[in-house]
Structure 1
C-alpha cells in the first residue's frame, strides 16, 4: 500500500513538474515572439511634443516611439539625459525640429548622424523662403517655431511620412494613407483658426505673450505679435523691453496678454503690473501652448487640439 502511495506521489510530482515546465516554456516562447516583433518594429526617437504627436499619428502601433520632451518642457534649454542618449543611439530614425530650437542638442544630432542613424530635421521639409528671420543675437538665422502655421505643418507631415515610407517600404501604404487622412484634418484646423481669427476686428488681433514664438501664427492668421522675451527663451527680457511693451499696451488698449505653458509667468505678471502703473488694466487672458503641447491623453496634448485651444483662448480673451 505504501509503495502504491509512493508511486502515485511520484507520478503526481512528475505531472506537476511537466505542467510547470510547459508553462515556463510557453511564457518564454511568448517573450521571444514579443521580442522578435519588437525587433521588427522601427525605433523612432522624437524631440518635441508636436513631432511626437505627428509620428504617432502617421505610424501608430507600427513604430516604437520615444519622445524625449513632455508637456511643459522648454526645448530651447533642454539638456539630454544619459537615458536620452541611449535612446538616440538605439534608434533607427530620429526626428527633431532643427533651426536651433533644441539648441543644446545640436552636437548630439550631428554625432548620431555620423554614427549612421537616419537623423532628420523636420524643418528640412520647407523651402527657406518660407522661414521668418530670427533675432540678430539668436544662434541661427531663422525662427524655428514653424508649427504655428498649419499650412507649414502640412508640408512637414508629408515629409515625415516620406521618410518613414522610405525606411520601412513594407508599411508604405499605411504611412501614405495616414498622411492623406491627417492632411484633411489639418486643412480643417487651418480653416477653423482662420475663421476664429477673422471674427475679431483687425485692430484687436494683437497677441502679446511671454516669448516671441508666435510670428508664424501672426503671419498665417493676420495677428500682430509681441513677445516679452526673444525667439529663444535663453534670451533675457530687460526692464526697457517691459517698459516699451507696457507703453504700447496701454496706448492701444490691448485687453489681454497671455502666459505660456512652457515659460515661467513672472515676466507676463511684471508686464501686467507695468501696464497698470500707466493707468490701464490689462488682464491675463489665459495660458496658451507654445513650445510644448498639453498633457498626454488630453485634447491640448495633440497638435490639432493645441491649435484650436490656443485660438479659442486668444479670441475669447480679446473680443469685446
Structure 2
C-alpha cells in the first residue's frame, strides 16, 4: 500500500506536469521575470535583410528568410504558415518604408507582444531622412540597400538596437556590424572603379522597375525604369514608348530585366527600338528585390551587389 505522503508527492508531480501546459508551475516567478532575454531565432523578410542580420548577430543565432529568391516583396502576402512561423520567432526584422506592404497588418499584430523584437532596418534612416529618396509626401523609396552607405547606417542602427535589448551581448553585435560595414566600404570602392570604366555617355541604366535610384546615385549612373518603385502598378504603353525613344536617341546599347519582375515590358522596349531601326540588346538580368538562389553568384547581399555591377559594366562598357 502507498503511504499518504507518497501519494501526496506523486499528486504534486502530476499537478505540476499538467500545469506546464496551462501556464502554472512555470519559471515566471518575480525572480525570473527580470531574467535576460535570449535571442535564439530571427525571421527576416527579404534576403538582403537576412544577410545584414546574420552578419550582425553571428552564427550563434538561427536566421531564416521569409521571401526566397525571385519573390517580389511588393506583392508578397503571408500565408497562415508564414504567420505561424513569424509568431514563434524571438525577433522579426524587416526592411520598412512600405517595401513589405502586404505584411503591414501582420507586423503590427506581432508588435503587440512585447516579448518579441519587431524592428525595421529603416528606423535610423527615418529618424534622419536626409539620405533617403523622397517619392512624394512622407513616402520614401524603400530600395535603400542599393546605397551601401545607407545600408551601413542600417547595420549600425540594428546593432545598437540589439545592444539595447540584449546588453550582455552588445560588444559582439557592434563588433560584427563594424566588420560587415568594412566589407561594404571595400565593395563600394571596387564598384565605383568598375563603373568608371563605362564611357560617360553610356552610363544609363534602364530596368524593369524603379529599384535602382539609390544604386545610380551612389555609382554615378543615370537611371530609368518602366514601372515605378512598386511593382503593384502596371507598365503603361506611354512609358514604354518614352523609353523606346530614349534608347534610340541615346543609342543605349543594352537594357536590363530583373529576377523578381516580369521582363514583358523590357522585351517591348527592345521590339519597339528594333521597329525604329535600332538594335538594343538585353544586357542581362539584375537582382533587384531578392537575392539569388543558394550556390549562385548572388546568394549573399555583397555578392548580389557585385553581380549587378559586373552585369551592367559588361553590357554597357
Instruction: Note the 1:32-51 alignment, pairs <5 A.
Output: 41-51=39-49
Moved more, 153-162 or 253-262: 153-162
Which position in structure 1 is the counterpart of 2:33? none
Please say if 1:57 is aligned against 2:55. Answer: yes
TM-score (norm 1): 0.83
Structure-2 residue corresponding to 1:206: 204
Compare CA radii of gyration and give the structure with the larger one: 1
Partners of 2:48 and 2:192 lie apart in 1 by 20
For residues 41-190 of structure 1, the aligned pairs below 5 Å read 41-116=39-114, 117-126=116-125, 127-134=128-135, 141-190=139-188
CA offset at residue 270 of structure 1? 1.1
- Structure 1 residue 205 displacement after superposition: 0.6
Kindly indicate whether the alpha-carbon contact (under 8 Å) linking 2:39 and 2:91 is maintained by their aligned counterparts in 1: no
The 8 Å contact of residues 49 and 292 in structure 1, kept in 2 or not, is answered as yes
Q: Distance in 1 between matches of 2:258 and 2:111?
A: 33
SS at match of 2:255: strand
Listed one character per residue, the Cα deviations across residues 92-119 of structure 1 (whole Å, up to 9, x for unaligned) are 2211111110111111111111222321
Q: Distance in 2 between matches of 1:42 and 1:309?
A: 32
Q: Write the distance in 2 (CA, Å) between the matches of 1:224 and 1:64.
A: 39
**Residue aligned with 2:118, SS:** strand
Helix, strand or coil at the partner of 2:279: coil
Indicate if the aligned counterparts of 1:50 and 1:302 stay in contact, CA closer than 8 A.
Answer: yes
Q: Would the alpha carbon gap of residues 296 and 166 (structure 1) be closer, same or farther in structure 2, given more than 3 Å must change?
A: farther
Kept in 1, the 8 Å contact 2:39–2:90? The answer is no
1:239 aligns with 2:237: yes
Cα distance, 1:134 vs structure 2: 2.0
Q: Give the helix-richer structure, 1 or 2.
A: 1
Instruction: Tell me how far 1:187 sits from its aligned partner.
Output: 0.3
| Partners of 1:72 and 1:294 within 8 A in 2 | yes
- In 1, Cα distance between the equivalents of 2:259 and 2:136? 22
Q: CA deviation at 1:265?
A: 1.4
- Structure 2: which 5+ runs fail to align? 1-36
Deviations 1:48-90 (A, max 9, x none): 1101111112223321222101111100000111121112212
Counterpart-to-counterpart distance in 2, 1:222 and 1:40: 43
**Shift in Å, 1:120:** 1.1
Q: Give 1:41 shift.
A: 4.2
- Cα deviation for residue 174 of structure 1 reads 2.1
Distance 1:298 1:60, change over 3 A: farther
Question: Matched residues in 2 for 1:141 and 1:135: separation?
Answer: 6
Aligned length: 278
Deviations 1:224-270 (A, max 9, x none): 10111111001100111101110010010000000101111111111
Matched, 1:251 2:249: yes
Counterparts of 1:229 and 1:180, CA distance in 2: 36
TM-score of the aligned structures, taking structure 2 as reference length: 0.84
Q: Which residue of 2 aligns with 1:269?
A: 267
Structure 1: how far apart are the matches of 2:120 and 2:167? 21
